């Protein structure tokens, strides 16, 4: 069947360059979302590849595509859909983890800011949106992920590959599974490097859209070992609004900048308290410091998470609050952080130089 000379794939792309993805704030063509264009006598069929999991903007995008193409003269428009999380290009000097598209490090400059709580709810939130997610607890001295995920047991091995535990649809690995109980680990730097190598390269992570790594506090051996071992796609920095926490968060920003790891953004945890009696907002640790720090360093602000006893209870009982109804304010706060992290990764991966993945049929 011949192609109408007034309509071809190139014209489709020209028209759709004017249509933006509402969350990523770039046009669909620049984001390589338009695939498998089929043009026949003015009728257009195409596939849209959504680059973030569980996108709520599919109806809005489809309406914009139909309106743009019809307005340009297309006689009919067929839109097909799929979700395809883009893969990081990685660094040439570090081999990628087979099957893992994106490695997201969650760190902080100090302890006590709820970093593991954010990491757990970020990972569970991404999985609940439909992504394939792994969660690595890299805090070997204080591994809290097993408790917060309600997971226990010892990992098994198949040949020389460690099999991660699974909970809430995530694949998990933590020193807490290998050394349970209250006995402390007293290790030096070389031992830490060795265990990180094992957790990253000897665990059978399978096919993952995101591997979230909960880093220990600070900027010590484990953080550097991780960055030297695998290409980290980006880092999320957790802080509270207090000046003490912000001072250390700035050190974390500087550290990731020095080792050339993209900063995905800053999360302000324990941002405020809603009084259970009068429902008024109380800024226990101050207000706005996370946003000001993000603005100062030119990195995204990923959002505020309130101080709430239910968040603590969810961690203590192994039921992360992000598993609640999506309309629940606490669940919504963590889901919003997850959506912004996924969006930031998509923009980074799809707009950096790479081979085009456009497919055209005529």
Contact 252, 265 (CB under 8 A): no
| Phi-psi map region of 104: left, alpha, beta (phi>0 left; psi -120 to 50 alpha) | beta
pLDDT tens digits for 204-261?
Answer: 999 999 999 999 886 667 777 788 788 999 999 999 888 888 888 888 899 899 888 9
pTM of the model: 0.90
Pairing, β 43-50 against β 76-83: parallel
pLDDT tops 60 at residue 185: no
Percent of the chain with pLDDT over 70: 90
Structural domains in the chain plus CATH codes: 9-84 (3.30.300.130), 103-347 (3.40.50.300)
pLDDT tops 50 at residue 70: yes
* Spatial CA neighbour of 200 closest among 322, 70, 100: 100
pLDDT tens digits for 299-339?
Answer: 999 999 998 889 989 999 999 999 999 889 999 999 999 99
The residues near 145 (Cβ < 8 Å, ≥ 6 apart) are 116, 119, 120, 135, 137, 139, 151, 172, 174, 176, 214
Tell me the C-alpha to C-alpha distance, in Å, between residue 98 and each of 95, 206, 353. Answer: 9, 8, 21
* Spatial CA neighbour of 290 closest among 335, 321, 252, 262: 252
């Amino acid at each position: 069947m011949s192609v109408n000379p007034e309509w071809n794939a190139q014209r489709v792309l020209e028209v759709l360059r004017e249509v933006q993805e509402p969350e990523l704030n770039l046009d669909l063509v620049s984001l390589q979302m338009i695939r498998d264009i089929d043009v026949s006598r003015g009728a257009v069929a195409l596939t849209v590849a959504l680059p973030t999991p569980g996108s709520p903007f599919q109806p809005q995008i489809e309406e914009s595509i139909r309106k743009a193409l019809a307005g340009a003269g297309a006689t009919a428009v067929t839109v097909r859909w799929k979700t395809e999380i883009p893969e990081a290009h990685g660094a040439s000097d570090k081999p990628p983890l087979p099957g893992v598209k994106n490695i997201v490090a969650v760190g902080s400059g100090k302890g006590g800011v709820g970093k593991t709580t954010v990491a757990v709810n970020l990972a569970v939130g991404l999985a609940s949106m439909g992504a394939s997610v792994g969660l690595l607890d890299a805090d070997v001295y204080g591994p809290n992920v097993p408790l917060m995920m309600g997971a226990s047991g010892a990992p098994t091995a198949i040949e020389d590959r460690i099999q991660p535990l699974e909970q809430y649809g995530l694949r998990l690995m933590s020193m807490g599974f290998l050394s349970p109980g209250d006995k402390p680990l007293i290790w030096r730097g070389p031992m830490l490097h060795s265990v990180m190598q094992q957790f990253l390269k000897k665990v059978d992570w399978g096919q993952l859209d995101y591997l979230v790594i909960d880093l220990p506090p600070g900027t010590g051996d484990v953080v550097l070992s991780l960055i030297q071992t695998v290409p980290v796609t980006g880092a999320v920095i957790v802080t509270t609004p207090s000046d003490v926490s912000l001072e250390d968060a700035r050190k974390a920003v500087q550290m990731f900048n020095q080792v050339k790891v993209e900063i995905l953004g800053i999360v302000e945890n324990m941002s405020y308290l809603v009084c259970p009696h009068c429902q008024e907002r109380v800024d226990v640790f101050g207000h706005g410091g996370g946003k000001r720090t993000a603005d100062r360093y030119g990195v995204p602000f990923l959002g505020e998470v309130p101080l709430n006893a239910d968040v603590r209870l969810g961690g203590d009982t192994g039921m992360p609050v992000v598993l609640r109804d999506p309309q629940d304010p606490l669940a919504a706060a963590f889901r919003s952080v997850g959506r912004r992290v996924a969006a930031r990764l998509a923009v980074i991966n799809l707009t950096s130089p790479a081979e085009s993945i456009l497919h055209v049929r005529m």
